[in-house]
Structure formats: structure tokens, C-alpha cells
Homo-oligomer: A and B are copies of this chain.
Amino acid sequence: MESQESCIRVLADSCQIKGCKELLQANQTTLTGLSSILALAGNEVRLKILFLLKIEGELCPCDLADILSMSISAVSQHLRKMKDGRIIKTRKVAQTIFYSIDLMHIELLKPLLIHITASNLQTEQI
């Protein structure tokens, strides 16, 4: 017989499937936003940068390149991604640009996580 995309399950619960689809739809924005932030932290170089920024408060691309033994350009491109993702911010002093963790944005992330947890609880109650 031809292969097919969906299985023909005895155990398949169409109510459960439908509920899951709705749950995903309801949390679409949250999941998209959260996954993009996790993807930023899910790179070893960027996680190291975040780790260093958390400890040191702020660092410039130059110092980071030195610490990580990488080219300034490579570091700068990682910093840009994280700045675009709003998890770090900049402070300019003369020609030096200091990067630090954007706490305001991290705070903004908390409701997202709570939202996900709330959805869980809601579902578990049903």
C-alpha cells in the first residue's frame, strides 16, 4: 500500500488533537518569541557573551573579542543579532560601545513564561 502522511490509529484521540492545535494557536506569538530568544542563547559564543555581560555588567566588542579569542568582526555580528533580538543594549562612550544585558526586555519576557505556565495549568484542570 502507498505510504501516507497520517497514521490510522486506534488510539488516536481526535479531541486531544484538536485541543492541542488550539493550544498551539493560542500561544503562537509566545512560542515564536520565546524560541527566537532561546535560539540566540543556544549558540555557545553568544551564551558566553551573555554570561560575561551578566558578570561584568558591560563590555565592548574589543574586550569580548580578546576574551573569546575571536575576531572583532565575528563578535560584532553576534552582538548585533542579540541587539536585534532586544536581549542586549548599548551605551556609547566616545568611540567605544559598551554592551550590556537589556534587563527591561528580560523583564518583558517574564509574562511570556508565566503565560505558558498558566496555559498549562488551565489545560491540566480540564
A9 to B55 CA separation, bound complex (whole angstroms): 21
Q: How large, as a class, is the contact surface on chain A?
A: 35 or more
Determine which of B43, B55, B116 lies in contact with A51 in the assembled complex, contact meaning CB atoms within 8 Å.
Answer: B116
Contact B65 A23 (CB under 8 A): no
Q: Is A52 in the interface zone, CB < 8 Å from B?
A: yes
A38 to B42 CA separation, bound complex (whole angstroms): 4
Determine which of B7, B24, B119 lies in contact with A48 in the assembled complex, contact meaning CB atoms within 8 Å.
Answer: B24
Known A-B contacts A11-B96, A42-B42, A54-B120; the reply to A67 vs B20 at CB < 8 A is yes
Contact B5 A72 (CB under 8 A): yes
- Measured between C-beta atoms, what is the minimum distance from A53 to chain B in Å? 10
Contact B47 A31 (CB under 8 A): yes
Q: Is A107 in the interface zone, CB < 8 Å from B?
A: no
A51 to B95 CA separation, bound complex (whole angstroms): 44
Q: Which residues from B are CB-within-8-Å of A124?
A: 55
A8 to B126 CA separation, bound complex (whole angstroms): 62
Q: In this complex, which of A5, A34, A52, A120 has the most chain B Cβ atoms within 10 angstroms of its Cβ? A: A5
